[in-house]
């Protein structure tokens, strides 16, 4: 979760999210999304069917690590 590559990708996600939604801080929004990725089986099934089993859980954990929740 804390590899340079993963942190860089989540950092890019943070930048784009702030730009797209005109937010000074995307932490709350990103943590809500991360929680949904980790706990919502429908989201997990939909995304994992495209990107591979466990991908959605991994992304949720990476987002939580980046934003300091875990």
Could you read off the pLDDT of 45-61 as tens digits, one per residue? Answer: 999 999 999 999 999 99
Instruction: State mean pLDDT over 9-31.
Output: 96
Alpha-carbon separation of residue 18 from 27, 30, 35, 59 (angstroms): 10, 10, 19, 18
Contact 62, 33 (CB under 8 A): no
Question: What was the pLDDT predicted at 25?
Answer: 97
Chain position carrying tokens 């934003």:
67
27 Cα distance to chain centroid:
10
């Amino acid at each position: 979760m804390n590899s340079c590559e993963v942190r860089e990708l989540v950092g890019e996600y943070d930048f784009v999210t702030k730009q797209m939604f005109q937010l000074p801080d995307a932490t709350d929004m990103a943590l809500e999304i991360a929680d949904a990725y980790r706990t919502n089986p429908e989201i997990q099934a939909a995304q994992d069917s495209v990107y591979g089993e466990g991908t959605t859980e991994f992304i949720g954990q990476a987002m939580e690590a980046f934003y300091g929740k875990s």
